[in-house]
Amino acid sequence: MAAQISVPHVPCPGERDTNTVVDLSRFRVVFYDCLTARADALFELADAVLCEQGPVNTLVELCLAAQHRRGHGALYDGLNAGRIDITRLSYSLSGLPLPRDRDGRIVLAVDVSNWLRPDADTSAERLFCHTYGRGKNQAQMIPGWPYSFVAVLESGPSSWTQILDVVRLVKPRVSWRLI
């Protein structure tokens, strides 16, 4: 199993924060268990994406990453035939410890981000998404899918967040009745 090779399951001698290593190791095992088809290929793909320096521009780059020990055929096979048990993954993520500030409070952020699809005429349930232009009065309404995110923020100068929930916003189904 790839999850056991990448991160040790016991604290390393002299490690400053052993709970973090143990938590990461446990999560990797749980994440691997959520991969129901082509698990090894998907797991190594996730490792390659997370460990790659800088942005990933092509899938071929991921084949060359040290964390992806399989050939390019396995990468494409993992993407095409691999499966993730989303319900199980969501349940597993909900069990992670939440970051808190010094007072023990949880800081939440809510955002709506749009996945713009102006040329996808046959895509179901697209809505008009408000986008901001670069100049004054340059805002536009472009077809796409709006998603609402709720995240827990880390305290201090960290940019890490923990996503609690993501929901695609859809047009409400309202039936009108004339009186």
Spatial distance between the Cα atoms of 143 and 141, rounded to a whole number of angstroms: 7
Spatial distance between the Cα atoms of 169 and 153, rounded to a whole number of angstroms: 22
pLDDT at 144 over 80: yes
pLDDT at 44 over 80: yes
Comparing 96 with 179, the larger pLDDT belongs to 96
Q: What is the pLDDT of residue 140?
A: 87
Look at residues 70, 69, 49, 51 and name the one whose alpha carbon lies nearest to residue 59.
Answer: 49
Instruction: State whether residue 86 is helix, strand or coil.
Output: helix
* Average pLDDT of the residues of the chain: 82
- Domain borders along the chain are 1-96, 98-179
pLDDT at 88 over 70: yes
Task: Tell me which range, 41-45, 118-122, 128-132, is most confidently predicted by mean pLDDT.
Answer: 41-45
Q: Is 179 exposed, middle or buried (0-12, 13-18, 19+ CB in 10 A)?
A: exposed
pLDDT at 133 over 60: yes
Q: What is the pLDDT of residue 111?
A: 93
pLDDT at 130 over 50: yes
CA dihedral 170, 173, 178, 179 (to 10 degrees): -110
pLDDT at 149 over 90: yes
Q: What is the pLDDT of residue 1?
A: 45
